[in-house]
Structure 1
Amino acid sequence: MNISVPLEVSTPDLASYDVILINSSAGKDSQAMLTHVVEQCDAAGVGRWRIIVVHADLGRVEWPGTLDLARRHAEAYGLYFEVVRRELGDLLDQIAQRGKFPSATARYCTSDHKTAQVAKLMTRLAKAHRRRNPSTLFRPIRILNCLGIRAEESHARAKKVPFGPDKAATNSRRIVDRWLPIFTWTQDQVWTTIRRSGLPHHPAYDLGMPRLSCVFCVLAGSKELVLAAQHNPALAEEYAAVEQRIGHTFKADLSMAEILRRAKEPVR
């Protein structure tokens, strides 16, 4: 896949933000981003008390150990750690409620379980910062929202703007900018940064998984989904049961039942 990647991403004026929010899935990209942003803040003289790490907890659909690893990464740098989650149940619950699995064109898994929940956290953080800092009482709180998205991952991601205003998250009480600090990085740069940090990465990568998101991501390839099912058979069975109950397949061209069948085939 030939993807055109920008040459560089400029670093915003980190000292101008009241809160620097780092989204962590505990995956390799957010892990490398965390190390990079902390180093950039240290170099700019920005106190680590301004940096907050947030993990959007997806519940049972995440790889085991994901939440604990995200917390461990944050604590290694002495950073405050927040967990957000959808109050009405995890993703598999929502799939059963909606009667449809997410898709590339209907990614409610991201919008409802991540974006919307992080926006609620921003509201709480802005209020808390204003209480602790009376000098900010009569102005919007400035928040820098950092995400570990890389252009190399897909054509769709390569089209994203690596830094700019987040109009959907901005309101009269807060001004939010979105920054993709490692947007131009290669996978080699990501792993080099992780090794240099000395912090552990999630073992799912050692199994051969290319990304750490939901165990069964609708955007993943069939090979990765079968591998995930081999290591998470009970969860795959839960997905297959929901699939049968709602009458909607996991992917239009690939059911979870078929993924399970392939996962149970003897290795040749």
Structure 2
Amino acid sequence: MSQLDLFTPALTDGELPPVALTPEIESLLAKNAPVAIGVSGGKDSGAAVWAVVNHLNQIGHTGPRLLIHADLGRIEWADSLPICQQLADLFGLELVVVRRPAGGMVERWMSRWDGNCTRYADLACVKLIMPWSSPANRFCTSELKTAIISRELTRRFPGQRIVSVSGIRRQESSKRAQKPICSEQARLTVKTLGTSGVDWNAIIEWKLDHVWNCHKWHNLPIHEAYSTYNMTRVSCCFCIMSSLPDLLRSAGCEANQDVYRELVDLEIASTYAFHEDTWLGDVAPHLLTDEQRTALSGAKYAARRRELAESRIPEHLLFTEGWPTRMPTYDEAVLLAEVRQEVADTVGLTIGFTDPASILQRYAELMAERAEKQFLADWTEAKRELKALNKRLKEAYEEANQTV
């Protein structure tokens, strides 16, 4: 049974809500600002395309319109890009596909792991850092979607204020429930190109039944993740935000199974579970080789050893925003040396700073570097404030002279 079969329409045709609007959005659309609708292949972005294009047609908007898709590489569902193209063809719009030059999501996680191992070896972090993004650190969205999309839009529309549309809805999560209809998108502000722009959550008030009714009534293309695999959402085929049932369903798609095994290999190498406390390797172990299943068991044991070792580090020695905040004592440096060596042996890393003397020296270097950076930042901020104050004084002086 598919997601569509599970839903029985409760509305009649014509009862879809209007797009959510603010005075800022209405003003920009009235001025024919360029509108770019982000599409992923999922149900919400498809509904957003219909709703926004329908509204633009109703108000006589004649500015540029396009669909834009951030391709995340091998971790994408095979059907995602075709669905985006079908939407573009259906509405007669250009589909712009953008990609991170350094590779997709899998490459980003792998390079992050390599970088984190180097950081740990150099004592640039006191605890080993996992390769994966997380709900609290969704660099997957900011780096591989928002940044890449914004870069393309500012290149395409120099000198303009751009409207970037997303299909997020309040009903999806408590965090999205707090999202505004419209907000400034800092990445669309490029002084050299004269651009600025806003994010517009056009269907933020829509409910799930509105989305599915929109697809049914207007014959919008349906992703195979819903129709064939009964997924509840479409993003990466294996997403750090997915539910366990969705991960299992995705693993049932043969086209996703090579990347599944690749991600399990990274779990094994890093000793970090992909999905909070859920090991991706436990989702579909029958898809793994005997060697992978054995290695995964060893990785779980190594993870417990690593966590136990790092739990010995006093909280005041942990880094804050990437920097130490206080020097360890000699005895604490001895402890750090023991912990670092145990973690390195457990994970299979070659590291430096494994004796108390070198650790104390490294902490001193980092604290001095942090103090220097903070001084420069404070100095820059002071100069900015002084410049602003001088400007206000000059304006006040000129105003006083005009009054006289």
**What is aligned with 1:78?**
92
2:201 aligns with one of 174, 180, 205? 180
For structure 2, which runs of at least 5 residues remain unmatched after alignment? 1-17, 114-130, 289-404
**In the TM superposition, what whole-angstrom CA distance separates every residue of 1:40-85 from its partner, at most 9, and x where no partner exists?**
01001113x6111100001110111211210120121111110111
Residue equivalent to 1:237: 261
SS at match of 1:55: strand
Displacement of 1:175 in angstroms is 2.3
Deviations 1:101-160 (A, max 9, x none): 111111111111101101111221123xxxxxxxxxxxx402111000000000000011
How far is the alpha carbon of 1:262 from its aligned partner?
A: 7.7
| One-letter amino acid of the structure 2 residue matched with residue 124 of structure 1 | R
Amino acid of the residue matched to residue 189 of structure 2? Answer: T
Q: Residue 196 of structure 2 aligns to a residue in which SS?
A: strand
Q: Distance in 1 between matches of 2:286 and 2:213?
A: 34
- Specify the structure having the higher radius of gyration (Cα): 2
- Taking structure 2 as the reference length, the TM-score comes to 0.58
State the secondary structure of the residue aligned to 2:233: coil
Q: State the partner residue of 1:155.
A: 174
Does the Cα contact within 8 Å between 2:150 and 2:187 map onto a contact in 1?
no
Would the aligned equivalents of 1:226 and 1:263 in 2 still touch at CA under 8 Å? no
| Larger relative contact order (CA 8 Å, sep ≥ 6) | 1
Q: Distance in 1 between matches of 2:143 and 2:187?
A: 14
8 A contact 1:226–1:262 mirrored in 2: no
Q: 1:219 aligns with which of 233, 237, 241?
A: 241
Shift of 1:8: 8.0
Structure 1 residue 168: deviation in Å? 4.1
Alpha carbons 1:55, 1:83 under 8 Å: kept: yes
The alpha carbon displacement at 1:245 in A equals 2.3
C-alpha change, 1:164 and 1:90, in structure 2 (3 Å) is: closer
- Could you tell me how far 1:246 is from its partner in structure 2? 2.9
CA distance in 1 between counterparts of 2:101 and 2:190 reads 23
RMSD between superposed Cα atoms in Å: 1.9
Amino acid at match of 2:34: V
8 Å contact kept, 2:66–2:93: yes
Partner of 2:21: 10
Which has the larger share of helix? 2
For the residues of structure 2 that align with 1:117 and 1:235, how far apart are their CA atoms?
23
Provide the C-alpha distance between the structure 1 equivalents of 2:230 and 2:58, rounded to a whole number of angstroms: 35
Aligned-residue identity in percent: 31
Q: Which residue of 2 aligns with 1:43?
A: 58
Partner Cα separation in structure 1 for residue 21 and residue 104 of structure 2: 36
Query: 129, 138, 141: which is aligned to 1:107?
Result: 138
